[in-house]
Each structure stands twice: as C-alpha cells, then as structure tokens.
Amino acid sequence: MNLPDGTKKAIFRASMGGDAETVIGTRHAPCVLDVLMSVTDFLGGGVSKPWWHFTELRQRKYGNLQQSRR
C-alpha cells in the first residue's frame, strides 16, 4: 500500500490515543477513530474487519466520546 510519508504514523498515533483532531485537522464523530483503528490494525498485519468491529474497543479504551456541537 503506497501512502504519503508520515500517513501511517499519523494514523497509528491517532488510533493509539494520539490527538486525532490535531492529526486530521478538524473534529469528527467518534466513529472516525473506529475507522482509524481498523486501518491501523490492517496495516499492522491484521485481518480486514469493518470499522464497527472496533467500536467496543474504542469505547473501552477512550470512553464514550461525544462529538462537540459548534
């Protein structure tokens, strides 16, 4: 998979508890973190799984994140 320099690291940092808002540049719904976690897992050699398979893991690790209203 060809990704720009730093993209894999940014995805990994965001999915492992980094500041996804800073990495992505804007605030998103919590399911975006689920997607990043699924991509990171796959890029790390895991079996491809839909993003919603990571929702429970995200909730256990980070609590019930709420999207702020602006």
At residue 44, the pLDDT reads 87
Q: Does the structure show a pLDDT above 80 at 67?
A: no
At residue 4, the pLDDT reads 62
The closest alpha carbon to 38, from 47, 26, 30, belongs to 47
Buried b (16+ CB within 10 A) or exposed e, 23-62: beeeeeebebbbbbbbbbbeeeeeeeeebeebbeebeeee
Q: In this predicted model, which residue has the larger pLDDT, 67 or 36?
A: 36
Backbone angles phi, psi at 25, to 5 degrees: 100, 0
Structure confidence by residue, pLDDT tens digits, 20-66: 555 556 666 788 889 988 998 998 899 999 999 999 998 888 777 66
Under 8 Å CB-to-CB from 62, ≥6 apart: which residues?
17, 33
